[in-house]
């Protein structure tokens, strides 16, 4: 992915008005190499951490597991089962949980497929996405959480896909399903 034209992320967002520690109004000033929101009273520095998503690519009997998104961004399009990683969570555990929540299926992680970077767009999606290859081990297929449909699809008969990471993962599967 060519990120040369991507606008740089805002390291001093205006929505950070007050210090979360002492409630003093924040100011913008240089910290190391970037402008940041800083508290002049207690020294708190607001760092804009990336949103990290995790997901699983499951291929079973030559078909790939996809879910139709019931929420923004990309509502109504199909993607691999995925969700956000919370602070302190193991990415593999989260990916397995998200697959179960969105599809009703139990999977086990086989290996890391790739890590994707998506420049911030304001859409609320992940800027870092960790993708694992996983194997189906049980459960009953049913949509849940933020998916309103789930199913297995042949690579030559896919619905409209959401997200560059989903499209890339499916493209790379090629004949390796």
Active-site positions? Answer: 149
Instruction: For residue 165, report the phi and psi dihedrals to the nearest 5 degrees.
Output: -65, -40
């Amino acid at each position: 992915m060519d990120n040369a034209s991507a606008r740089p992320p805002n390291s001093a967002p205006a929505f950070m008005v007050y210090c979360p520690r002492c409630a003093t109004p924040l100011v913008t000033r240089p910290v190391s190499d970037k402008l940041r929101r800083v508290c002049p009273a207690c020294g708190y520095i607001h760092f804009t951490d990336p949103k990290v998503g995790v997901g699983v690519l499951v291929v079973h009997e030559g078909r790939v597991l996809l879910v139709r998104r019931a929420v923004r961004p990309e509502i109504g399009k199909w993607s691999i089962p995925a969700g956000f990683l919370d602070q302190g969570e193991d990415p593999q555990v989260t990916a397995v949980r998200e697959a179960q929540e969105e599809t009703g299926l139990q999977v086990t992680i086989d290996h890391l497929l790739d890590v994707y970077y998506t420049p911030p767009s304001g859409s609320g999606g992940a800027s870092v996405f960790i993708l694992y290859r996983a194997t189906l081990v049980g459960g009953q297929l049913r949509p849940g959480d933020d998916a309103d449909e789930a199913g297995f699809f042949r690579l030559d008969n896919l619905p409209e896909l959401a997200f560059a990471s989903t499209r890339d993962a499916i493209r790379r599967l090629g004949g390796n399903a």
